Amino acid sequence: MIREVAIVGVGWSGFRPITPDLSYKELMYEAAVQAYEEAGIDPRRDVDSFVTVAEDYNEGTSIFDEYVPDQLGALHRPVQTISGEGIHGLAAAVMQILTGQFDVVVVEGHSKASNILTLPYILAFAFDPVFNRPLAVHPYYVAGMEMLRYQVESGTSHYECACVAAKNRNNALLNPLAGYGAAISAADVMASEPVAEPLTRLECAGHSDGCITLVLAAGETARALTDTPVWVRGIGWANDTPWLESRPWGEARYAQAAAEMVYRTAGIKSPRAEIDFAEIDDTFAYKELQHLEALNLCPPGAAGEWTAAGGTEIGGEFPVNPSGGALGQGHLLDATGLARVLEVVLQLRGQAGQRQIETAEVGLAFGWRGVPTTGGAAVILSN
């Protein structure tokens, strides 16, 4: 990258299935204050630009960007809201710093999923109105179809997929932030009710409310603000076709393309050897395996066996989702990828408590926009 960029402050609020005690503005304020205090900055004076990630249909308010400045301290300042995955927002902020025109940029994403009373219908509204929506099936059918194709093409068993859900829910027990910790086994996961076969209920992430705020700074500013900057080494994002009728169902090509970009910008040649751990989208259990392979962190078709053998556990050779992932923390809508980034930052700083990875020097975070999309974004961070 043409300029050094670091994360110098993080803040969060949540993550819990319901948050009736706080309005979304109060939720955002809580996370923002924490991030600014960590970074030792006053947003009214020291922040050059603010980027938030929000989708009007998730907020229940059109032109939602109008409602973000107050609680971030962004009044009368440059503010931009983008609709995308949280890591797309991080990418936008990184690019602003790379222009040389901004030294300190804030990124925010949040979820008030509990306030969306018709959430499956909002998901369904993302489907093509002519070809798909009139069929009137719960939108998770796309995940069921994708899982089936992935299993057949990669030779992955249902048990191996279920191991992801068991691992992440157990990891979440070590994470005070996580709302869905549970001591469950792969057998429990497989025995739970079918949602869209082969997908079972415990293989689908529940939803959480919460907020994540990050403070980014350019190289010299970052060093002046903190002794423990977490450096952004590379960033990448990509989309595949929206066609459900002719997409490559078995493999996540959007993740392959995002990986190619993130490794190129980070100068990484052998991802598995040069990266110590990863936080990877696991909205559905099989997605963690499919994404691991697409991100070239293991050979095609090998992720399931690797996971079942314990290779991706916290004490394993390559920990994946030590935070508990979306399965363990709850899916945070647009902010889900920022929760992945938050965990990478905490691990790289050595602040991950009971779930701390011993040799955490380089970490990868990957976010996916969920069904029915083929949009993903990745970032590589190091301490």
Q: Residue 145 CA to chain centroid, in angstroms?
A: 22
Contact 67, 126 (CB under 8 A): no
Burial per residue of 294-333, b for 16 or more beta-carbon CB atoms within 10 angstroms, e otherwise: bbbbbeeebbbbbbbeebbbbebebbbbbbbbbbbbbbbb
Half-sphere exposure of 22 (CA within 13 A, CB side): 22
d(CA 66, CA 175) in angstroms, rounded, equals 34
List the one residue from 77, 133, 138, 149 that touches another protein (CB under 8 A).
Answer: 133
List the one residue from 37, 66, 70, 317 that touches another protein (CB under 8 A).
Answer: 70
Q: Match 């929206």 to its residue by tokens.
A: 242
Residue 347 interacting with another protein (CB under 8 A): no
Q: Across the chain, which distance is largest between two alpha carbons, in Å?
A: 57
Residue 129 interacting with another protein (CB under 8 A): yes
Q: Given the rule CB under 8 A, which of 25-33, 172-180, 241-249, 312-320 is the region that contacts another protein?
A: 25-33
d(CA 272, CA 276) in angstroms, rounded, equals 8
| Cβ nearer to another protein, comparing 125 with 243 | 125
d(CA 134, CA 156) in angstroms, rounded, equals 32
List the one residue from 15, 29, 102, 306 that touches another protein (CB under 8 A).
Answer: 29
| Cβ nearer to another protein, comparing 15 with 254 | 15
Residue 66 interacting with another protein (CB under 8 A): no
Contact 56, 122 (CB under 8 A): no
Question: Cα(first)–Cα(last) distance of the chain, in Å?
Answer: 16
List the one residue from 13, 49, 52, 71 that touches another protein (CB under 8 A).
Answer: 71
Q: Given the rule CB under 8 A, which of 129-137, 193-201, 229-237, 247-255 is the region that contacts another protein?
A: 129-137
List the one residue from 40, 66, 75, 264 that touches another protein (CB under 8 A).
Answer: 75
Residue 25 interacting with another protein (CB under 8 A): yes
Residue 138 interacting with another protein (CB under 8 A): no
Per-residue binder mask for another protein (CB under 8 A), 78-117, x = binder: ----------------------------------x-xxxx
Shortest distance, position 58 Cβ to another protein, whole Å: 9
Q: Residue 311 CA to chain centroid, in angstroms?
A: 21
List the one residue from 122, 145, 184, 261 that touches another protein (CB under 8 A).
Answer: 122
Residue 20 interacting with another protein (CB under 8 A): yes
| Cβ nearer to another protein, comparing 225 with 257 | 225
| Cβ nearer to another protein, comparing 119 with 184 | 119
Nearest in space to 83 (alpha carbons), one of 51, 50, 48: 51
Residue 63 interacting with another protein (CB under 8 A): no
Q: In the beta sheet, which residues pair with residue 53?
A: 82, 109
d(CA 1, CA 14) in angstroms, rounded, equals 33
Residues in contact with another protein by the rule CB under 8 A: 19-27, 29, 42-44, 57, 60, 69-71, 73, 75, 112, 114-118, 121-122, 125, 129-130, 133-134
